[in-house]
């Protein structure tokens, strides 16, 4: 059986090594980080399964073990509340996770969402074609990739992007609905579609701003203005309008101010200072 001491795919990682061995390596291949402790019996039961899979995948992913007793700062940073917890890092960010003992088959399914596969080559070709202005060719390549590998969620995300560029909102939504666990990119697309629909048939921004100046309680104008601002990537003014809706009328469109602030937080990402600022402002407005 593969062990941590003999496998080239498994390593113990400390705070000092985490950036290089996990965050940077995850830009090349997925890195599974197993948060464990010596006293945790389920951790010891999970390790042979993870080691077996690391050996079977032969470098398609790396396994990093973090002892939470000696690396408490890492455990706090990543919000570890129960053991074992396994987080999958891709491109420097947490892309997936699971907690507790899981059957090998279930862990394989999770890993397969992130390791490189044959259809990835087709996606790369499609992206090149799209950048060269060959959108129809890119679309066909992505459709072929989806037929070849229907479980590759990146194919759906990239095709949804093209549909969105073509204003095919329903087609984009149908694809994104087929993704079991949206990554940050897929989630951003879902939120953008939401704001595109809100902005449909909206008056020009100057007219909406005038309507608000005449009636500060015009939540519909504020809502549509926020959508137009999101679509221009002007996130702070959009959050300001949504926050005003929360303060003025929680009942507007089924609490749309709060709901769409939260959606925008998801789209921008929790690490953004703007999100931290407006989460606090939203919390104050709700209390």
- What CA–CA distance (Å, rounded) separates 176 from 112? 18
Please confirm, yes or no, whether 40 is among the known catalytic residues: yes
- pLDDT tens profile 125-149: 999 999 999 999 999 999 999 999 9
Write the CATH number for 43: 3.40.30.10
Which residues face 97 on adjacent strands?
Answer: 87
Catalytic residue among 4, 23, 40, 262: 40
Asked if residue 125 and residue 101 are part of one domain, the reply reads: no
Whether 83 and 148 share a structural domain? no
Domain span holding position 230:
199-286
pLDDT of residue 284: 97
DSSP state of 27: G
Classify residue 246 as exposed, middle or buried by CB count within 10 Å of its CB (0-12, 13-18, 19+). buried
219 is catalytic: no
Low-confidence ranges of the chain (pLDDT < 50): 1-3
Q: Order the strands of the 85-90 sheet from edge to edge.
A: 10-12, 62-67, 31-36, 85-90, 93-99
**Coil/strand/helix, residue 95:** strand
Structure tokens belonging to residue 246: 């929360």
Within 10 angstroms of residue 181's Cβ, the number of other Cβ atoms is 12
What is the pTM (predicted TM-score) of this model? Answer: 0.66
Is 186 part of a structural domain of the chain?
no
Q: Is residue 190 part of a domain?
A: no
Residue 5 lies in a domain: no
Task: Report pLDDT for 182.
Answer: 87
Q: Residue 66: what pLDDT? A: 98
Structural domains of the chain, count: 3
Could you tell me if 75 and 134 lie in one domain? Answer: no
| Residues 240-277 pLDDT 10s | 999 999 999 999 999 999 999 999 999 998 889 999 99
Determine, yes or no, domain membership for 257: yes
Short-list 278, 268, 275, 241, CA closest to 256 = 241
Residues 47 and 99 in one domain: yes
Contact 150/179 with Cβ under 8 angstroms?
A: no
pLDDT for res 1 = 36
User: Considering 10, 33, 43, 189, which one is annotated as catalytic?
Assistant: 43
């Amino acid at each position: 059986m593969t062990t941590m001491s003999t496998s080239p795919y498994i390593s113990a990682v400390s705070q000092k090594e985490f950036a290089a061995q996990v965050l940077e390596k995850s830009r090349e291949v997925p890195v599974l980080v197993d948060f464990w402790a010596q006293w945790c019996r389920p951790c010891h039961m999970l390790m042979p399964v993870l080691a077996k899979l690391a050996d079977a995948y032969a470098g398609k992913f790396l396994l990093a073990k973090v002892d939470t007793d000696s690396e408490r700062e890492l455990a706090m940073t990543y919000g570890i509340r129960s053991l074992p917890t396994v987080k999958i890092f891709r491109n420097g960010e947490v892309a997936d996770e699971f907690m507790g003992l899981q059957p090998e088959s279930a862990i394989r399914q999770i890993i397969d969402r992130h390791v490189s596969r044959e259809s990835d080559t087709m996606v790369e070709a499609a992206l090149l074609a799209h950048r060269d202005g060959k959108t129809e060719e890119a679309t066909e390549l992505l459709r072929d990739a989806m037929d070849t590998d229907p479980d590759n969620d990146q194919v759906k995300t990239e095709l949804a992007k093209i549909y969105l560029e073509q204003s095919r909102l329903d087609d984009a939504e149908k694809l994104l609905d087929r993704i079991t666990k949206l990554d940050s990119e897929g989630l951003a697309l879902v939120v953008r579609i939401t704001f595109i629909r809100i902005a449909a048939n909206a008056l020009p921004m100057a007219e909406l701003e005038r309507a608000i100046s005449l009636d500060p309680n015009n939540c519909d104008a504020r809502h549509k203005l926020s959508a137009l601002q999101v679509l221009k990537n002007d996130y702070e003014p959009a959050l300001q309008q949504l926050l005003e809706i929360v303060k003025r009328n929680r009942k507007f469109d089924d609490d749309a101010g709060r709901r769409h602030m939260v959606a925008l937080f998801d789209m921008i990402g929790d690490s953004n200072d703007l999100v931290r600022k407006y989460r606090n402002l939203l919390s104050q407005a709700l209390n």
